[in-house]
Amino acid sequence: MAVLGLLSQLLLYISAALVTLFLCVYVYFSYSFTYWKRKGAPYIKPKFPLGNNDCFGAEALSYGLETVDWYKEAKRKGHTIVGTWNYSNPVLLLIDPEVIKNVLVKDFNHFTDRDFFHNPKHDPKNESIFVAENEEWRQLRQRLSPVFSTAKMRVMFELVNKCAEPMMQLFETYSQSGDPMDIKDIVAMFATDVIGCVAFGLDAGSFNPHEAKFRLIGRKFFESNLKTKIHLIIGRINVKIAQFLGLRVIPDFLTNFFTEVIAENARFRQENNVRKADLMQLLLDLYESSKGQNDAFTFDDFVGNVIVFFIAGFDTSSTTMHYALYELARNPDLQEKTRVEIETVLKKHGGHLTYESFQDMTYLRQVIDETLRLYPPVQNVARFCVKPYTFKDSNVTVEKGVSVVVPLVALGRDPDHYPDPERFDPDRFSSQNKDSINKFTYIPFGEGPRNCIGKRFGLMQSSIGLIKVLKT
């Protein structure tokens, strides 16, 4: 009896504690939900506990698509900015291209940091240019920019061109057998080989089932991984709690794999006096030359930046290639026009695909631009406010730590900016038409000092992949 009494008392305490906890959380959320009203900003009504997010599960990660509805509602009401909530966190959505320009370019000093969860204390090997803050980011950007100089692009052009050979052989096999092929997977294998080659000077062997380690790692990273998703969701709910709990977004298997590859590769180059014209060499030189300095580029920095180039480099470009091929398959006349251009330009250049010949393919570039308008691989560009900022026309002031988001998908599909927006029409980007496009409604690579560092490389790699597929 005494045990039963004790148990019911315990249950009572637990229930009371849970109710108190729930009430505290509820009060905290309710107060957070008054943030935009207190700031005098228009806002979209949030709901407890998701804020303006639609759902809690894995789908909640598709933030880019969720923002489309908020954008439409704000636009309908004539707002240039609109307050929303990501769980209890205030997020300001930018609607007007002029405001977007101010945040990304003119007033960049107020928005130098990217809103992306990272955990420097518990996950130092995943600190990189992508998540670095303020001064640290400026220094890294300066150190890494030479990777994509014009001279390096020329060298990389030849490497990428060569990486397409196994893909061409696979097409040959398929065309003989007549079997259906998974083009998304094939272009991902090509993009993985490319990054393996330009980043590490290695043959990643993605087309060889016995050697395709890089591809396996890439595929595993983007596959549903419940643990990573839970970490990301907690990171979205509250960064401080996620950091305190030691959560990470890059899984250990990926960090360990690249740590080993880099260590082995660096050892081989040093022991054999080998130098290559690749990203690995640039980072290795940086690592060696800054040893002992206060702001040294450490081995952890080395690993973190290689990982980010791998992730940022292969998925974005392969997504661009497969959506371009999807649209060209749906629009055979545009496909034919692209193919005719490729053949004509190649003929003019003696049948060779060179750095110069690919730059002459203006219609192909229009196809890629239009693909990126409809299907930007990165759906939102997000910044943290790092010092208080007042939005000019609205007089709304945001403080340090508030996130502002540029909704790329919504902008690209806004009929005010792109008439008949669902139609795939590369002529929107022809030399006659493209000047009428407001630059700040089309930013698939971001804009301003913190835009995509690999833009030229991503465009080059996607173009080469498409040329190879289309001219077969």
Summarize the annotated binding site as residue ranges. 452
Number of residues that bind ligand HEM (CB under 6 A): 27
CB nearer to ligand HEM: pick between 242 and 404: 404
Quote the CA–CA distance of 241 and 65 in Å, as a whole number. Answer: 26
Quick one: tokens of 57? 């599960």
CB nearer to ligand HEM: pick between 51 and 458: 458
Quick one: tokens of 357? 């010949």
204 binds ligand HEM (CB under 6 A): no
Distance of CA 208 to the CA centre of its chain: 27
User: In 3-state terms, what secondary structure has residue 7?
Assistant: helix
Shortest Cβ distance from residue 130 to ligand HEM (Å)?
4
Quick one: tokens of 44? 């979209």
Residue with tokens 């303020």: 134
89 binds ligand HEM (CB under 6 A): no
Near ligand HEM by CB under 6 A: residue from 60, 129, 232, 280: 129
Q: For ligand HEM, which stretch binds (CB under 6 A), given 171-179, 341-349, 390-398, 449-457?
A: 449-457
465 binds ligand HEM (CB under 6 A): no
Interface residues for ligand HEM in 314-333 (CB under 6 A)? Answer: 316-317, 320
What amino acid is encoded at 397 in this protein? T
Quote the CA–CA distance of 34 and 39 in Å, as a whole number. Answer: 9
194 binds ligand HEM (CB under 6 A): no
> What is the number of other CB atoms lying within 10 angstroms of the CB of residue 351?
9
Q: For ligand HEM, which stretch binds (CB under 6 A), given 63-71, 241-249, 269-277, 455-463?
A: 455-463
187 binds ligand HEM (CB under 6 A): no
270 binds ligand HEM (CB under 6 A): no
Alpha helix (H) ranges present in 226-354?
A: 226-237, 239-244, 252-271, 279-289, 299-330, 332-348
232 binds ligand HEM (CB under 6 A): no
Near ligand HEM by CB under 6 A: residue from 44, 189, 212, 308: 308
CB nearer to ligand HEM: pick between 33 and 457: 457
CB nearer to ligand HEM: pick between 46 and 313: 313
255 binds ligand HEM (CB under 6 A): no
CA distances from 128 to 41, 117, 171, 304 (A): 34, 12, 37, 5
CB nearer to ligand HEM: pick between 32 and 298: 298
Strand partners, 81: 94
Near ligand HEM by CB under 6 A: residue from 309, 424, 440, 442: 309
Cβ within 8 Å of residue 32, ≥6 positions away: 85, 88, 89, 90
Shortest Cβ distance from residue 378 to ligand HEM (Å)?
4
Q: Are strands 380-384 and 403-407 parallel, antiparallel or unpaired?
A: antiparallel
Interface residues for ligand HEM in 409-448 (CB under 6 A)? Answer: 444-447
DSSP codes of every residue in 233-266: HHHHH-HHHHHHTT--SS-HHHHHHHHHHHHHHH
CB nearer to ligand HEM: pick between 42 and 377: 377
466 binds ligand HEM (CB under 6 A): no
What angle in degrees, to the nearest 10, is found between the helix axes of 332-348 and 362-374?
140
Strand partners, 404: 92, 383
Residue 235: name the closest of 408, 86, 90 by CA: 86
Quote the CA–CA distance of 173 and 178 in Å, as a whole number. Answer: 8
Near ligand HEM by CB under 6 A: residue from 83, 90, 458, 465: 458
Binding mask 369-388 for ligand HEM (x = CB under 6 A): ---x----xx--x-------
CB nearer to ligand HEM: pick between 122 and 141: 141
CB nearer to ligand HEM: pick between 142 and 293: 142
CB nearer to ligand HEM: pick between 334 and 443: 443
Cβ within 8 Å of residue 224, ≥6 positions away: 58
Give contact residues for ligand HEM (rule: CB under 6 A).
114, 129-130, 141, 308-309, 312-313, 316-317, 320, 372, 377-378, 381, 444-447, 450-454, 457-458, 462
